[in-house]
A and B are shown apart, each in its own frame.
Chain A
């Protein structure tokens, strides 16, 4: 008999595990969620934590913000900005400036935060950072007027006047009742000898100014371009009004003395300027004017003494040096005269070249040769901040 074939023995091994792709999917999702949390949630959490601590303990907020930025892969503008403020609060403004330049797109930051940083930087004298923050914050919104105002104030010290004028005109449109941009416009125009336009700007500022103190300040400034443009009667009227004011300061007396000279009242002008010098004996402006008055009166030795002091305090004052040279000529000191006149002429030539090159630089802002030449000229006429600004630009070109 045939032995039946043994049925194959049933395997005792467990059946092969069924593939469970969903598990892997869940796991993957969990990993992603973890990563997401790590990349997004954690930086945000760290940032919030830092923000909560910032006002009381900026020094403790700073490392949290650093971690927050690292956790975000290096690009977390809000945290970077707050960290700049934190660094500033602990006096590390250099680091803050460097850090600000690492923000990929600062314009994505809140204008309010940028404005805060700018204010703090300005208070600390870090104008470069303040200006960069303000530039990023300068866009339509409730903060724009404040941003522009601060920008104007800072650029007036640091930037090209043409750009400040542009900011003023923007602010005039945004805040039509604000006297500030008009007053600054007046100052800029006066500085560039646009006296008639300066007068108009000051008058606009006066129209908008409500405080007596503010009005007084504008009127004092208005006298200058009135004199410059030859409107002597109007300048006299304004000056007399200011002199009658109990708060009439030395600036008004100076202008009065200048005006008296133009009116042919040299003696009276000298008396007035002596009163100014009694209170501010080292005022270069007052010494310059007294030197001029002595010169008018033919008192050349006294003129030279005053003008020498001005030239020593302000070696870039080409007018003082020219007048001093003239005084030396009258005193028959030709060598000293030649030196002063040459210095004055060299300053004048440099300023003329600056006037010629500045528009060219506006057209070719990346021209390194031009930047360097202009920087040298700025240096020559004592505009060291401008020279440094251009040298910085040249180094990046």
Chain B
């Protein structure tokens, strides 16, 4: 998902000048599915990476109507989230800490490195060769991965509540905690404990994605209520743009592709939100999934959702 979040985010000129874009309705339909423990998903090329429980499963989507298991890798602890960057999957695996899987061959993932954080690793983001790990106990741990043979803790940023997730722009990391909100973290200040910027969010967020394009950086916060959008172009002074209520009122996660946000919206399925003007999002499409949508990923013309109740009935559905 991060891979795609970092993909082109084309803010239209009207949005940048405060005008409004014309949102085009979008329709999706299900073209395939695969039963697998599924909490979070990412897409890369023809493969879907699915984390469920302790296991990261890789599905081959060469034929979207017939997903096939390519490989799986089991961690000793629950996977809370992961990101695909370069040839690696960076996995936040609870008390195990950060696991780094080489997934350059999706049929044969290999553990390349790991680093035990003090508590439960919940989320991870990369700025260059520096990993930021949201740890329930210690806040945001900063781990130097210049040498994967010897990951080193460079410091930790304090967050006021429990760290939930972290995302990155090209220069900064952005973290969310419950209950406080949004933090902007400067890798150059990793020895100080203190965030560069901080702002109280309207509701306790669970997840964050960052969109970066054309000199503007937008943070999307999800969980605990509405989708919240912040302008973090100046990380020292995050500015709340808007809170956007999705049909369920309880969005779970978001993926962004260009100017579109795809929201896993629980029982309401997947919502598509036009973010051309991040101060004024517009709902442009939706699809009701058979089970509540837990996460969503987008790429290669496909949308993939992890759906289920968390009771062993999860599956990945492929939408187009």
The reply to whether chain A is a binding partner of chain B is: no
